[in-house]
């Protein structure tokens, strides 16, 4: 097995986690503030069935980023990736199920476009979940070999 690839500096990693946390907080405010998600013309009232899970996903993302600002060994980053990706998959699946979208442009089948994007997101997220799991197992294995159990 090859050696672990070099990571950015701790300061660069902390900056990245901070930016990600801020973006998630901004999204929470934009989605839940006034007028919020209801100002988006193609979203329907069905969005209220997705909103709790979407908000949970964003809050979990903030929590994971805050933990990683303070403590980010490879195993923690991989575990955070597993958690956030799994919740992201749940959000995508809920969007697929509820499909809170209504499109008025008859020239393009936007519903099909959104379904394809959701499907690609689900497939990509599943691959990401597998990659994070492999990273976690590799990081744990490396720690065990180094005697840091």
Q: Could you report the per-residue pLDDT of 99-143, keeping only the tens digit for each?
A: 999 999 999 999 999 999 999 999 999 999 999 999 999 999 998
The residue extents of the domains of the chain are 10-145
pLDDT band per the 50, 70, 90 thresholds, residue 148: low
Q: Convert the pLDDT of each residue in 71-91 to its tens digit.
A: 999 999 999 999 999 999 999
Closest CA to 3 of 142, 147, 144: 142
């Amino acid at each position: 097995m090859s050696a672990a690839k070099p990571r950015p500096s701790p300061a660069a990693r902390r900056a990245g986690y901070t930016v990600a946390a801020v973006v998630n907080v901004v999204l929470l405010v934009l989605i839940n503030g006034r007028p919020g998600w209801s100002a988006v013309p193609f979203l329907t009232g069905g969005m209220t069935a997705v909103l709790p899970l979407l908000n949970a996903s964003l809050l979990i993302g903030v929590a994971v980023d805050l933990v990683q600002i303070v403590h980010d060994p490879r195993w923690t980053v991989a575990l955070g990736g597993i958690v956030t990706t799994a919740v992201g998959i749940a959000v995508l699946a809920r969007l697929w199920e509820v499909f809170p979208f209504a499109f008025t442009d008859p020239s393009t089948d936007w519903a099909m476009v959104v379904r394809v994007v959701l499907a690609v997101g689900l497939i990509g997220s599943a691959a990401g979940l597998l990659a994070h799991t492999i990273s976690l197992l590799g990081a744990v294995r490396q720690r065990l070999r180094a005697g840091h159990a």
